[in-house]
């Protein structure tokens, strides 16, 4: 099982927002909505644009370049121009700190 990596304080991410987190050469997107946190690969599967500049609307992240949408809970691509799902990672809040089980 992958170790839990500390990302940031929960307060560092606004509700219904996204933050970029880079770790060990990999970029992640960390989301906060409805007092829960989620994590995915940080690049859109369409043209590999950073999702941290995108818009979170409830459980949906919209890519800032081409408006492709994913469900932040399971990474499902929700329609063109995104066709390939986002890889997601377990995320939790422990003592006010956001943690994820990173890829490496």
Q: Going residue by residue from 32 to 71, which x/- string records binding to other proteins, judged by CB under 8 A?
A: -----------x--xxxx---xxx-x----xxxxxx-x--
Find the part of the chain contacting other proteins (CB under 8 A) among 2-10, 29-37, 77-85, 96-104: 77-85
CA contacts within 13 A on the Cβ side of 91:
27
The nearest distance, CB 62 to other proteins, in angstroms, is: 6
Q: According to the binding rule CB under 8 A, does residue 29 interact with other proteins?
A: no
Strands (E), the chain: 4-9, 17-23, 26-33, 36-41, 55-57, 60-62, 69-71, 88-89, 91-94, 97-101
What tokens were used for 54? 């995108």
Q: Which residues bind other proteins (CB under 8 A)?
A: 14, 17, 43, 46-49, 53-55, 57, 62-67, 69, 79-81, 83
């Amino acid at each position: 099982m992958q170790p839990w990596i500390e990302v940031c304080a929960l307060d560092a991410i606004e509700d219904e927002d996204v933050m970029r987190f880079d770790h060990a050469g990999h970029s992640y997107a960390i989301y906060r909505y409805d007092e829960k946190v989620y994590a995915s690969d940080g690049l859109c599967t369409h043209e590999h644009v950073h999702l941290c500049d995108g818009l979170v609307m409830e459980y949906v992240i919209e890519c800032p370049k081409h408006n492709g949408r994913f469900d932040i809970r399971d990474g499902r691509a929700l329609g063109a121009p995104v066709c390939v799902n986002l890889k997601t990672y377990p995320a939790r809040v422990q003592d006010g700190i956001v943690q994820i089980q990173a890829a490496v």
